[in-house]
Copies of this chain bind each other. A is one copy, B any other.
Amino acid sequence: MIRTAYKSGITRASLSKRYLGNVSKLYYPEEVTGPVLVSENVPGPKTIELNKKLGEHFDNRATYFVTDYKNSLGNYISDCDGNKLLDVYAQISSIALGYNNPALIKTAQSEDMVNALVNRPALACFPSKEYGQILEEGILAAAPPGMTKVWTALSGSCANETAYKAALMYQASIKRGDNDFTAEELSSVMDNALPGTSDMVIMSFDKGFHGRLFGSLSTTRSKAIHKLDIPAFDWPKAPFPELKYPLSEFEAENRKEEERCLAEFERIIDQWPTQIAAFIVEPVQSEGGDNHASAFFFKGLREISKAKGVLMIVDEVQTGVGASGKFWAHEHWNLPTPPDMVTFSKKFQAAGFYFANPDLQPKQPFRQFNTWCGDPSKALLAKTIYQEVTHYGLVGRTAEIGDYVYGNLQSIFTKFPTQVKNLRGEKFGTFIAFEFNTANERNAFLVAARNKGLNIGGCGDQSVRMRPTLVFEREHADVFLQIVEDTLKQLYP
């Protein structure tokens, strides 16, 4: 099935087809079959030595281990001591196809890539003659249903901030109509003052994470340490449902909580003293603790915002590109009308936002503008990632593997009923998380798992999140499940 998404003739390949063999074995015949542990602990002595040296010039205090990427392959990451760990964190959810993927290597060695790297264009002034086609065959072919345009950027933070700018300019232009900027607007804006500067706001959700630059950080509400001491705009925060897991067991209670949050969302729009230009929401609040909500909730957000003229921005920086078992996680919701914008980064390497409404391009050029406006070298990687994902049906595959992992974790956790709780991610691909009672217990789990050869990350206050590649196969799942169980047995004998 080829789904025609655009008048222009761009077609989105079927996401349901499925390569029947083992894609990981095909890519990585020499991938190890389990963790290889060389040093007594991870991090080992060479990490400690190299990290100390790095710290002379670069902030090294968040280092898990110094990595030997050339020696990493597929789902296994190698540290510089020679330990090879099964990696289900994947550069904070950013490695789509595994380490040293042969298709990406081919792209990286291509003439197009060399050209993109050594002649990096200012894309909005001097677009390369290839850029349109690179977008059409990659980033745009992957566009969510109903979205036909893209603005490219360099990171998740600037993807979100440029989307906010698009929303703010759009709402201002609706108010302004055919009138030109006033003399007062033109002069006041140079003093960061009204009316040229806007008092419109961007709404986000409690525990949401949307980046760490000044505008994105004003919408980020994940953890105090992300925000302390940084000026922020006085923008509204809506409550995000605090659901009970598993979702299927608590439908009635959860529905009530979601209705409460929807009512509050609507009340804020009605009562906020200035206009709300847009709101932004993650399909799953990832950094904030892997908090889910149901399709009912997101449909409600879409309906209310549509009725009130507030734009809907879906932040798919972490959830996008297949991990949820859909190419874009918001496809789980079957929204009545598409979001106004969808932002992406991480697994796609390229960053930016999709949209359909041409009026989200400001009437005047040079308003949504900067020197680079994206990076063709990253767009080339995104194109290959999209083509490999669709060629091998990696989204459907991830959905299946996710179900397998979820079911098995469920049965493992029955043995640790007081220690591990709130397994999340049912029918949501490998986008799976679970929770401990305290941050200390969670951190002890992360360290113990790493010493058994599993690299996995935390999120929220006391959660563990699984963010593997899209070529995480049954045999990797089995290694993963074994280490999780062994680690829990060691911690809670």
| Chain A contacts to B: CB under 8 angstroms | 8, 10, 50-51, 53-54, 56-70, 72, 77, 80, 91-92, 94-95, 99-101, 104-105, 108-109, 111, 113-115, 117-122, 124-129, 131-132, 135-136, 140, 148-152, 154-158, 161, 164-165, 168-169, 172-173, 181, 185-187, 189-193, 196-201, 206, 211-216, 218, 221, 224-235, 237, 345-346, 349, 361, 364-372, 377, 381
Find the B residue at minimum CB distance from A61.
B365
Find the B residue at minimum CB distance from A111.
B70
B residues in contact with A155, CB < 8 Å = 154, 158, 370-372
For the complex formed, measure the closest distance between the CB of A316 and the CB atoms of chain B, giving whole angstroms.
14
Q: In the complex the two chains form, is A377's CB within 8 Å of B117's CB?
A: yes
| Interface of chain A, main secondary structure | loop
For the complex formed, measure the closest distance between the CB of A139 and the CB atoms of chain B, giving whole angstroms.
9
Q: In the complex the two chains form, is B108's CB within 8 Å of A197's CB?
A: no
B residues in contact with A232, CB < 8 Å = 189, 192, 197
Q: In the complex the two chains form, is B365's CB within 8 Å of A59's CB?
A: yes
Complex-state Cα separation, A126 to B50, whole angstroms: 12
Q: In the complex the two chains form, is B224's CB within 8 Å of A67's CB?
A: no
B residues in contact with A187, CB < 8 Å = 224
B residues in contact with A149, CB < 8 Å = 56-58
Find the B residue at minimum CB distance from A116.
B69
Find the B residue at minimum CB distance from A53.
B132
If A62-B125, A158-B155, A161-B213 touch, whether A231 touches B100 (CB-CB below 8 Å) is no
B residues in contact with A92, CB < 8 Å = 122, 125, 371
Q: In the complex the two chains form, is B371's CB within 8 Å of A91's CB?
A: yes
Complex-state Cα separation, A486 to B65, whole angstroms: 61
Complex partner residue of A168 from B168, B224, B231, CB under 8 angstroms:
B231
Q: In the complex the two chains form, is A161's CB within 8 Å of B67's CB?
A: no
Complex-state Cα separation, A214 to B60, whole angstroms: 28
If A62-B369, A113-B108, A155-B158 touch, whether A197 touches B230 (CB-CB below 8 Å) is yes
Q: In the complex the two chains form, is B127's CB within 8 Å of A60's CB?
A: yes
Q: In the complex the two chains form, is B199's CB within 8 Å of A128's CB?
A: no
If A95-B119, A114-B108, A370-B211 touch, whether A151 touches B58 (CB-CB below 8 Å) is yes
Q: In the complex the two chains form, is B129's CB within 8 Å of A58's CB?
A: no
Find the B residue at minimum CB distance from A151.
B59
Complex partner residue of A214 from B70, B100, B214, B346, CB under 8 angstroms:
B214
Complex-state Cα separation, A142 to B484, whole angstroms: 46
Complex-state Cα separation, A60 to B135, whole angstroms: 13
Q: In the complex the two chains form, is A229's CB within 8 Å of B119's CB?
A: no
For the complex formed, measure the closest distance between the CB of A436 and the CB atoms of chain B, giving whole angstroms.
19
Complex-state Cα separation, A118 to B97, whole angstroms: 9
Q: In the complex the two chains form, is A67's CB within 8 Å of B181's CB?
A: no
Q: In the complex the two chains form, is A370's CB within 8 Å of B157's CB?
A: yes
B residues in contact with A228, CB < 8 Å = 169, 172, 181, 185-186, 189, 196, 367
Complex partner residue of A224 from B94, B117, B150, B190, CB under 8 angstroms:
B190
For the complex formed, measure the closest distance between the CB of A210 and the CB atoms of chain B, giving whole angstroms.
12
Q: In the complex the two chains form, is A124's CB within 8 Å of B211's CB?
A: no
B residues in contact with A152, CB < 8 Å = 58
B residues in contact with A212, CB < 8 Å = 165, 369-370
28 pairs of residues in contact across A and B, judged by CB atoms under 8 Å? A57-B150, A60-B124, A62-B366, A63-B124, A69-B128, A72-B119, A92-B122, A100-B115, A104-B117, A105-B114, A108-B113, A108-B117, A109-B114, A113-B117, A168-B230, A172-B229, A189-B232, A190-B237, A192-B234, A197-B230, A198-B230, A201-B231, A213-B213, A213-B214, A214-B218, A215-B215, A226-B367, A345-B371
Complex partner residue of A233 from B115, B190, B231, CB under 8 angstroms:
B231
Complex-state Cα separation, A206 to B191, whole angstroms: 9
If A119-B100, A158-B213, A201-B231 touch, whether A94 touches B371 (CB-CB below 8 Å) is yes
Q: In the complex the two chains form, is B63's CB within 8 Å of A127's CB?
A: yes
For the complex formed, measure the closest distance between the CB of A349 and the CB atoms of chain B, giving whole angstroms.
6
B residues in contact with A59, CB < 8 Å = 124, 151, 361, 365, 368
For the complex formed, measure the closest distance between the CB of A74 and the CB atoms of chain B, giving whole angstroms.
11
For the complex formed, measure the closest distance between the CB of A447 and the CB atoms of chain B, giving whole angstroms.
14
Complex-state Cα separation, A425 to B80, whole angstroms: 49
If A57-B150, A66-B127, A155-B370 touch, whether A231 touches B200 (CB-CB below 8 Å) is yes
B residues in contact with A131, CB < 8 Å = 54, 58
Q: Which 7 A-B pairs have the closest CB atoms?
A: A214-B215, A61-B365, A172-B229, A192-B232, A69-B119, A54-B132, A104-B118
Extra 4 A-B pairs, beta carbons < 8 Å, given A60-B124, A109-B114:
A161-B213, A196-B228, A214-B214, A225-B366
